[in-house]
Chains A and B, each alone.
Chain A
Amino acid sequence: MPVIKFIEFDGTEHDVDADAGMSIMEVAMKYDVPGIDADCGGGAVCGTCHCFIQESAGPLPAVDPQEESMLGLRPDREGNSRLSCQIQVSDSIGDMTIKLPEFQM
């Protein structure tokens, strides 16, 4: 079971055992990690589950055009920005360290 370390903007850390098959967003919701809103429930159509992937053991899936459109509107976008609803936890990606942004919008 991969371990995800969520780091809130203020530095608070949450280590959780993530179920393979769930999205990162769903894992954060399941364990009540604050900082992800996920207004649209996982469709990559609201942009409110933005996160920064600081580290991942294995390679991440590519950003598709829909995710790219939503990320493109984030004023705080970085090179490692992703929508957490678009990455499924898996053994091939493995453990991850994820920073959460200051705000969702």
Chain B
Amino acid sequence: MNNRADPMLADPLKTPLQDLDVSDPRRFEQDCWQPLFKRLREESPVHFQAESPAGPFWSITRFDDIVEVEKNTEIFSSEPTIAIIDPPPERRSRMFIAMDQPEHDIQRRAVQPVVAPKNLQEFEALIRQRTAEALDALPEGETFDWVELVSRNLTTQMLATLFDFPWDIRHKLSDWSDAVTSDERMTAGQGLKQEDRLEIVMEILEVFTKLWHERVGDNVESFDLIRLLQRDENTANMVDDPMNYIGNLMLLIVGGNDTTRNSMSGGVLFLNEFPEEFARVKADRSLIPSMVSEIIRFQTPLSHMRRTVTRDTEFRGQHMKAGDKVILWYCSANRDESVIAEPETFQIDRSGVRNHAAFGFGIHRCMGNRLAEMQLRVVWEEALKRFSDIQLVEPPTRLCHNFVRGFSRMPVQVTRY
């Protein structure tokens, strides 16, 4: 798994730590990030890096330290952004993931009902039907891309449902999701230039502003995200504050799409890498819910979140200054051997399987976690009914990205019962 490392990348075990860029997205692209993070957990769990494409930052790599930082929202703020790079102040969109209390709570509470378990029960039949249709349409006896035909297809449908978005142009949602997380400074130069990204952000705003005005006062009984914002008195005029509206739209588009999509693809890879686990879940489908949590841990679809230090402080003996960036590496927490036994093993019924770091902790913990788990559970319930095998044909293509951990291609062949 770790033998395809780019010779241009410094050896993570022999190079002095201060000469390594922890945020180098190529390590994620080549799936050779694990040894560096293990070394950080052991040698420098609260690690300062003076230079990077995103400027200086601290890396927190141990599970328990990340929990501590996430609890201390006064010193470790989510404002102004949770991304490793700083947008220029005039282009700073405002999303609740990047707000502190009390504003965070007010905006999150407005949209939370969409993913409340009661609402999810009603979604489940619809998700199952669409999943069944997508899986039934897969070709047999030929290689196809699981990312495109399953993961991307299904998560785009779900996102369109959450927004009650025009069905015929729903593909725009996943294109936008890709675009808003794309930035040349997070992707070793492969991502969008800031100007091109801005153009797409303006398109999103235009389309959704139109949808907002079409829905104002239409009294349709719908739990879509736009009408939820309109119905809550605290957010009823959000359209008049475009930077706040676009911020939350981008948050919900990415949060409801990229993450589940990549876990949906990751599961196929892990079951191929650990065939004995594949055999076990095929023999006992009651293991699926537990397997879903393990897939999410093993994938950790967002590698990190950022916090910003609000005042000079000491953390684990390190002096942090007001304004310092602190990167919480969830991918590392999920391989922390002091909390997770044999963390490099994909083990579908491990004890405490839900106790992983992929959803974050504290007030910013993933709002859609139950929806994500349900989507993944339904995919595997329906897939294991139909397929005796889902064979990975070639190694997948991974994203060159230091924030979104995922795949652009997963070539597979399926065998039906």
Q: Which residues of A contact B (CB under 8 A)?
A: 37-41, 43-47, 66, 69-70, 72-73, 75, 102-105
In the complex, the answer to whether A46 meets B116 with C-beta atoms within 8 Å is no
A25 → B minimal CB distance (Å): 12
Chain B residue at smallest Cβ distance from A72: B105
CB distance from A45 to the nearest CB of B (A): 4
A38–B359 Cα distance when bound, in Å, is 14
- Interface positions, chain B 24-81, Cβ under 8 Å from A, are 67, 70-71, 73
B321 — which chain A residues lie within 8 A by C-beta? Answer: none
Q: How far is the CA of A37 from the CA of B353 in the complex (A)?
A: 11
CA distance A72 to B351 in the complex (A): 29
Main secondary structure of the interface of A (DSSP, over half): loop
In the bound complex, residues from chain B placing their C-beta under 8 Å from that of A45 are: 67, 70-71, 361-362, 365
A101–B308 Cα distance when bound, in Å, is 35
Cβ contact of A69, chosen from B67, B101, B113, B370, cutoff 8 A: B101
Q: A69-B363, A73-B363, A103-B117 are in contact. List 15 more A-B contacts (CB 8 A).
A: A41-B352, A45-B361, A46-B365, A66-B71, A66-B362, A69-B73, A69-B362, A70-B362, A72-B105, A73-B109, A73-B112, A102-B117, A102-B118, A103-B116, A105-B117
B116: which A residues are within 8 A, CB to CB?
Answer: 75, 103, 105
Residues in B with CB closer than 8 Å to A41 are 352, 355
Instruction: Check B171 for interface membership: any CB of A closer than 8 A.
Output: no
B112 near A75 with CB under 8 A, answer yes
Given the known inter-chain contacts A73-B108, A103-B118, A105-B370, please indicate yes or no for A40 contacting B355, CB distance below 8 A: yes
Digitize B391-416: 1 where CB-to-A-CB distance is under 8 Å, 0 elsewhere.
00000000000000000000000000
* Contact yes or no, B105 A73, CB < 8 A: yes
Indicate if the CB atoms of B354 and A43 lie closer than 8 Å: no
- CB within 8 Å: A-B pair count: 55
User: Is residue B115 contacting chain A, with contact meaning CB distance below 8 A?
Assistant: yes
Q: Determine how close the nearest CB of chain B comes to the CB of A105; give it in whole angstroms.
A: 6
A-B interface, 6 closest residue pairs, ranked by CB to CB distance from nearest: A103-B117, A45-B361, A41-B355, A39-B354, A45-B362, A69-B363
> Which chain B positions have C-beta within 8 A of A105?
112, 115-117, 369-370
Give Cα A44 to B71, complex, Å: 9
A43 pairs with B361, CB closer than 8 A: yes
Beta-carbon nearest neighbor of B104 in chain A: A73
Max chain A Cβ within 10 angstroms of own Cβ: one of B71, B101, B352: B71
* Chain B residues, Cβ within 8 Å of A69: 73, 101, 362-363
B101 with A39: CB separation less than 8 A: no
A63 to chain B, nearest CB (A): 15
Determine how close the nearest CB of chain B comes to the CB of A76; give it in whole angstroms: 9
Name the B residues within 8 Å of A72 (CB-CB).
Answer: 105, 363
Q: Report 12 cross-chain contacts, Cβ distance below 8 Å, ordered by A residue.
A: A39-B354, A40-B361, A41-B352, A41-B355, A45-B362, A46-B359, A69-B362, A73-B109, A75-B116, A105-B115, A105-B116, A105-B370
Q: How far is the CA of A7 from the CA of B300 in the complex (A)?
A: 35
User: Are B361 and A46 neighbours in the complex by a CB distance under 8 Å?
Assistant: yes
User: What B residues does A44 contact at CB under 8 A?
Assistant: 71
Contact of B109 among A38, A75, A102, A103 (CB under 8 A): A75
- Among B348-376, those with CB < 8 Å from A are 352, 354-355, 359, 361-363, 365, 369-370
CB B99 to nearest CB in A, in angstroms, measures 13
Set of chain B residues within 8 Å of A103, measured between Cβ atoms: 116-118
B375 to chain A, nearest CB (A): 15
B118 contacts which chain A residues (CB < 8 A)? 102-103
Contacts of B73 in A (CB 8 A): 69
Q: Which residues B81-124 have CB closer than 8 A to chain A? A: 101, 105, 108-109, 112-113, 115-118
Residue of A nearest to B366 (CB): A46
Complex: A43 Cα to B361 Cα, angstroms? 9
Task: Report A41 CB to chain B, min CB distance, Å.
Answer: 4
Judging by beta carbons under 8 Å apart, are B109 and A37 in contact? no
Closest to A41 in B: B355
A20 to B354, CA, bound (A): 26
**C-alpha gap A3/B248 in the complex (Å):** 46
Determine the distance from Cα of A47 to Cα of B370 in the docked complex, in whole angstroms. 13
CA separation between A38 and B101, bound complex, in Å? Answer: 23
**A54 to B115, alpha carbons, bound, how many Å?**
27
Closest B residue, CB atoms, query A42? B355
Residue of A nearest to B72 (CB): A66
Residue numbers in B under 8 Å from A75 (CB-CB):
109, 112-113, 116
B120 to chain A, nearest CB (A): 9
State the Cβ distance, A85 to closest chain B Cβ, in Å.
Answer: 12
